[in-house]
Structure 1
Amino acid sequence: MGNVSKTHRNLALLCISMALAATIAAGNFNRDVDITWGDGRAKIVDGGRGLSLSLDQYSGSGFQSKNYYLFGRFDVLMKLAPGNSAGTVTTFFLASEGPSHDEIDFEFLGNSSGEPYTVHTNVYSQGKGDKEQQFRLWFDPSAAFHKYSIVWNPHRIIFMVDDIPMRVFNNEAASGVPFPTSKPMRIICSLWNADDWATQGGRVKTDWSKAPFTAHYRNIGISGRPCGSAAACGSGVDTFSNEAWQTQGLDASGRNRVRWVQQKHMIYNYCTDRPRFPQGIPVECRRSRF
């Protein structure tokens, strides 16, 4: 009976993995991104289906989308550098240009061997962030590819892992909370050394004897209206289409999943860091999380 159950579980996991890959198989790194830095440490592979970033003691590497987007859904499969990754940061985020920029962050902070990565999320609007939430994943992100997604529409931002929502940041502009709604953003991904702060506040440094560190990206998926430049996006949302991301929120199942992630896997929440806000917690923290 145990073997039958195990077989069913393995088949289910295989089906899930195949489904995740299939849902974002349309993207192509040759078509959709430019390698922006790294002097050969970033490489597009498998005919554009994959891309690797490497970090050594001389440099990291990175890439960005060719187009800007004003709202959309952005997916990628990632497999992080294995082993002792202390001091390294692997990223998948959206960012606009300029000093008062907007930004939506997924950052993966490496750790010593045997310790899990810390997933750092943040939202910037008009150049101001300070909205950090951090998590420990329920799997080893260096052992296999997993899907990471950012949904950004005029109503909310949703961070997802394997289609499981882990964080929602609602548009509370009516209450005076800045929300990114007007500045087109690019997708940006990078692997770089941040051992002055990334692991245990900088106490654990990068072990360069383990270099090069390599992260793998696969099957980038972009669902949004592309803009040829930061000034050419118009209103962003295409009123003639009916793509789910334009109004995507959480149903009861999604709200339960967010609660599960935040209760079991959240390790830092700016909303509960009262010493940081002696004048009172931010306005958005006083309202419903969902």
Structure 2
Amino acid sequence: MVCFNWVSLSFVMLFMVGLVSSAKFEELYQPSWAFDHLTTEGEILRMKLDHLSGTGFQSKSKYMFGKVTVQIKLVEGDSAGTVTAFYMSSDGPTHNEFDFEFLGNTTGEPYTVQTNVYVNGVGNREQRLKLWFDPSKDFHSYSIMWNQRQVVFLVDETPVRVHSNLEHRGIPYPKDQPMGVYSSIWNADDWATQGGLVKTDWSHAPFVASYKGFEINGCACPATVASAENTRRCSSNGQKKYWWDEPVMSELNVHQSHQLIWVRANHMVYDYCTDTARFPVAPVECQHHQHKTNHN
């Protein structure tokens, strides 16, 4: 298979129908709570957590399929007890959700990145990894690419997790609910650092996460349109209409598969698929994903 770079899709997007947004924060997003804890300096948005509150923002629209990206510089120094999240989610008790959660740590210890996937309100699909760089020293890009075949989590365009559509195996897949894009910072010292053993040191507050490079390349879904209609609107249905339905986007290419194997082998520190205490019998999707990883 010919290696294909995600970035090279940009020229394709410009000539295919769909929302292509690479914009300032205020054009795509709005604060969702604790407005006084968000500040902007030029192109950079800063969100702070102190003993009074965390804060967050959300997209003005919901989307069905596409790719969302943001560049984040995480809390520097002692960030134990804090969580900075970037995620997509639909609404309601049977919601779908794709999570990046950055779990702070004591000074000198590496950040842990936790990813999770909720389908029809059910999560418990956590994976954790240590990044190959210090995410508090500079901005790095974090992306979620979502289509009818797969959900891909990317760090600086390197895939770190894939959740495949296994409906043919009787496993539900998130493809029928428009999702908003969100980010937040909050105190979670009951679990975030070493299982809650290390608490937040408020003498280091405020804890600040910085953002730039807001991009959403997806199909916007009006709130007045039914989900089934949005699914139809946001799918190519055999026509060359949306970049995310191109055959090259249906699975990782060889280079990306090798990158994912490298991440899993060298940086993954927890995978729900191998947690026999929680899952004496591995979930069915784990068997598929393990097979895919071993045979690429």
Q: Is the structural similarity TM-score above 0.5?
A: yes
Cα distance between partner residues in 2 of 1:286 and 1:26: 37
Cα distance between partner residues in 1 of 2:167 and 2:30: 34
3-state SS in 2 of match to 1:204: coil
Q: Which amino acid aligns with 2:98?
A: I
The aligned counterpart of 1:33 is 29
Residue of 264, 267, 278 corresponding to 2:266: 264
Cα distance between partner residues in 2 of 1:246 and 1:168: 17
3-state SS in 2 of match to 1:62: strand
Deviation at 1:66, TM superposition (A): 0.3
Relative distance call for 1:153 and 1:234 in structure 2 (3 A) is closer
The aligned counterpart of 1:284 is 285
3-state SS in 2 of match to 1:276: coil
The aligned counterpart of 2:70 is 76
Deviation at 1:257, TM superposition (A): 0.3
Of 241-250 and 68-77, more deviation after overlay is shown by 241-250
Of 53-62 and 233-242, more deviation after overlay is shown by 233-242
Deviation at 1:100, TM superposition (A): 1.1
Contact persistence 1:73–1:222 (CA under 8 A): yes
3-state SS in 2 of match to 1:201: helix
Cα distance between partner residues in 1 of 2:187 and 2:261: 32
Cα distance between partner residues in 1 of 2:178 and 2:110: 33
3-state SS in 2 of match to 1:64: strand
Cα distance between partner residues in 2 of 1:231 and 1:63: 24
| CA RMSD between the two structures | 2.0
Structure 1: gaps of 5 or more residues: 1-18
Contact persistence 1:102–1:127 (CA under 8 A): yes
- The aligned length equals 266
Cα distance between partner residues in 2 of 1:228 and 1:189: 21
TM-score (norm 2): 0.85
Contact persistence 2:37–2:55 (CA under 8 A): yes
3-state SS in 2 of match to 1:81: coil
The aligned counterpart of 1:6 is none
3-state SS in 1 of match to 2:277: helix
Of 134-143 and 227-236, more deviation after overlay is shown by 227-236
Relative distance call for 1:230 and 1:109 in structure 2 (3 A) is farther
Cα distance between partner residues in 2 of 1:123 and 1:201: 20
The aligned counterpart of 2:243 is 243
Contact persistence 2:72–2:140 (CA under 8 A): yes
3-state SS in 2 of match to 1:179: coil
Contact persistence 1:185–1:230 (CA under 8 A): no
1:80-128 CA-partner distances (Å, limit 9, x unpaired): 0100000000010000010111100000000000001100001001000
Cα distance between partner residues in 1 of 2:208 and 2:84: 9
3-state SS in 1 of match to 2:35: coil
The aligned counterpart of 1:142 is 136
Identity of aligned residues (%): 46
Alignment of 1:188-267 (within 5 A): 188-229=182-223, 231-232=225-226, 233-235=230-232, 236-238=234-236, 239=239, 241-244=241-244, 247=247, 248=249, 249-267=251-269
TM-score (norm 1): 0.87
Cα distance between partner residues in 2 of 1:230 and 1:43: 32
Cα distance between partner residues in 1 of 2:163 and 2:29: 27
1:60-97 CA-partner distances (Å, limit 9, x unpaired): 00000000001110111110010000000001000001
3-state SS in 2 of match to 1:256: helix
Alignment of 1:90-101 (within 5 A): 90-101=84-95
Deviation at 1:33, TM superposition (A): 0.3
Of 93-102 and 229-238, more deviation after overlay is shown by 229-238
3-state SS in 1 of match to 2:286: helix
The aligned counterpart of 2:276 is 274
Alignment of 1:84-163 (within 5 A): 84-163=78-157
Q: Which amino acid aligns with 2:30?
A: D
Alignment of 1:8-23 (within 5 A): none
Contact persistence 1:71–1:224 (CA under 8 A): yes
Structure 2: gaps of 5 or more residues: 1-7, 9-19
Cα distance between partner residues in 1 of 2:231 and 2:67: 18
